[in-house]
Structure 1
Amino acid sequence: MAFLSGNRNLLGIASLCAGILIISTQDAIIKAVSGDYAVTQAVATRSIVALPILLFFVHLNGGIRQLFSPRYWVLIFRGVILLIAYTSYYLAFPALPLAEAIVLFFTAPFLVTFLAAPILGERVELKAIIALFVGFAGVLVILKPGFGFFEPAALFSLLAAITYALAMLFARKLGVTEPASVMAFYQNWVYLVGAGLMALVFHLGGITTSDHPSLAFLVRPWSWPDPLSFAMMAACGAIAAIAMVLITQAYRLADASLVTVFEYTGMIWAPLWGFLFFAEVPAATTLLGMLLILVAGLIVLVRPSRRVEAT
């Protein structure tokens, strides 16, 4: 049993790291289109593209009939929580530097670890708590949050962190009976419907402009995108579909308090994309922060072997 549990945790960690790597490319895309298009349009476009991909994953993972789950209302509720999480996360991008928007969102793993005990009844090891402190210290070293940290838009990132943490704990509970592909399909469907409804409400209410860049990104009317912008938003659909399944699968397989520290690997990719696409050279503090994140991961991953008693 210990061997099987260990394998599940390792598979969960690998799945999460892969999902975070894939989803990290989406942040730069969303920030690039945030000045010209509405967040609801970007979410709806990516959801439409992701829909057939997720249906294919459901088909491979047991068949379409699994979508008719008796726990559909819980799946929908989790989707609503994630819609709030990702919409809030994206709304911080126009008003904050990408790095400062990300640092607040990366309090989510910290929240998952401490909420896992009262909500899931998981035993949180001391080394996991230490690793989270080390990992979060690494995030702070990389980002060096300054006065911009108190920009009101930072509250969007904080809201995103709280709601994302809750959604991942839901994934852990739902994972007993629901495949990752089914959970990902439901959340994608909620994204599509929710984004369309928000856009319709703003349109009917005549709310189309705002002086604040985050709110402007939220209420801006939809417009026909140029080919490059459409391709970028559509690419987010494929990116999101694959990443959603991987991340959801991670929380199905592994203890939430264990796997969540590997969310910090997202901070490795942010400076890399900055260097490749925007010619940004990582500072010495960035390299130090990356080292701290690596140490945090190793603290959790390396465990003493335990003797399995015969039964």
Structure 2
Amino acid sequence: MTGIARLQNPSAGIGFILLAIVALSANDVLIKFLSGGYPLHQMVFCRSAIGILFSIVLLQLEGGWKLLRTSTPGLHALRCLMIIFANMTYFAALAVLPLAEATAAFFVAPLMITLLSIPLLGEKVGPLRIGAVVVGLLGVIIMTRPWQSDASRDVSLWVYLLPIIAAFAYALNQVLTRKLGVSSKASAMAIYIQVGFIIVSSMFWLVAGDGRFAEGVENESLVFLLRAWVWPEGTDIYLFLALGFSSSIVGYCLSAAYRIADAATIAPFEYTGLPLAILWGWLIWDDLPEPVAMMGIALILGAGLFVFLRERQKKRYIVTRKRLHRRF
């Protein structure tokens, strides 16, 4: 029996991914809410510095400092770079796009995970699920409306491309999580990620922390990346604390989910973030997607649900075959 086979626990994986998505949705709301007054690298640094404290507690519960030792530092470093790049590009888009549309564009990631799990993990994905992935990608195209000119858009097409680029990097990150999860605990992998965020955001602060590169820049995404650090005002400090706590929950639960269950099984559950994003966008910013965007979102959501249902049907069929074989 292989290491990956021993780790199989689909029910727990689904539970972890659902908790991660709720925390991730709260994280997105907090970052979008704070994006008007603080730079992205400051928020990334603060949430990681706070989040790593929670992750260290979880590390001690799972076995202590010895869990940080690894025989594959290169793969862990690559995984860190992928998630850092995914976060930076996604949050740069989130500062400009409506929450629901940014989230929906990013949700091409589970489709990419399903595809990448074939060559990188050796998982079997049938033609029906491949077809569902194609439908989901069509939904992304409809939602982003690439046929429209920039003059007729409120937001440039390249801003819509940012969460899609982020989705590809995130998909690679989760496939690497599945590969590394055989020998690494979720808490250790979460700490590697937090350390990576702290290093990269500190470098941003050293280079652009005084805000000099944001002077004269009109693009809101670039301003969000380059504006000067400022001390949190009033109750904003509590929002930063909440950002760190949600970040630690996301890091741990995503790592735990993808190390104990097949990527193709749990990835569709990430689509629960779509209705959450629509709900928060409506409640907080009074913002609902346009009909065309809703059509694209519906296709993405429907494709994800089909992939999930097909996976469940496939597993029931395999179990039935095995039981019949044992009887005769």
TM range (shorter): 0.7 to 0.9
Partners of 2:96 and 2:106 lie apart in 1 by 15
Q: Is the 8 A contact 1:103 1:140 kept in 2?
A: no
Partner of 2:267: 260
Residue 75 of structure 1, CA deviation? 1.6
Partners of 2:299 and 2:200 lie apart in 1 by 37
Quickly say closer, same or farther: Cα 1:9–1:132, change in 2 above 3 A.
Answer: farther
Partners of 1:155 and 1:237 lie apart in 2 by 27
Residue 21 of structure 1, CA deviation? 1.7
Partner of 2:33: 32
Quickly say closer, same or farther: Cα 1:35–1:205, change in 2 above 3 A.
Answer: closer
Partners of 2:260 and 2:96 lie apart in 1 by 36
Quickly say closer, same or farther: Cα 1:87–1:6, change in 2 above 3 A.
Answer: closer
Quickly say closer, same or farther: Cα 1:189–1:39, change in 2 above 3 A.
Answer: same
TM-score with structure 2 setting the length: 0.82
Q: Is the 8 A contact 1:39 1:90 kept in 2?
A: yes
Partner of 2:46: 45
Amino acid of the residue matched to residue 47 of structure 1? S
Residue 109 of structure 1, CA deviation? 1.3
Partner of 1:56: 57
Quickly say closer, same or farther: Cα 1:156–1:174, change in 2 above 3 A.
Answer: same
List per-residue Cα deviations over 1:77-102 (Å, max 9, x = no partner): 21121111101110012222223322
Residue 110 of structure 1, CA deviation? 1.5
Alignment counterpart, residue 194 of structure 2, candidates 178, 188, 199: 188
Partners of 2:282 and 2:312 lie apart in 1 by 29
Write out aligned runs for 1:229-244 (5 A).
Answer: 229-244=236-251
Quickly say closer, same or farther: Cα 1:22–1:276, change in 2 above 3 A.
Answer: same
List per-residue Cα deviations over 1:180-201 (Å, max 9, x = no partner): 1111110011101111111212
Mark the runs of 5 or more structure 2 residues left unpaired by the alignment: none
Residue 155 (structure 2) pairs with residue 155 (structure 1) = no
Partners of 1:279 and 1:211 lie apart in 2 by 25
163-172 vs 261-270, which deviates more? Answer: 261-270
Q: CA RMSD in A?
A: 2.9
Residue 219 of structure 1, CA deviation? 0.8
Quickly say closer, same or farther: Cα 1:233–1:68, change in 2 above 3 A.
Answer: same
Q: Is the 8 A contact 1:78 1:167 kept in 2?
A: yes
Residue 205 of structure 1, CA deviation? 9.5
Mark the runs of 5 or more structure 1 residues left unpaired by the alignment: none
239-248 vs 224-233, which deviates more? Answer: 224-233
Residue 65 of structure 1, CA deviation? 1.2
Partners of 2:114 and 2:242 lie apart in 1 by 32
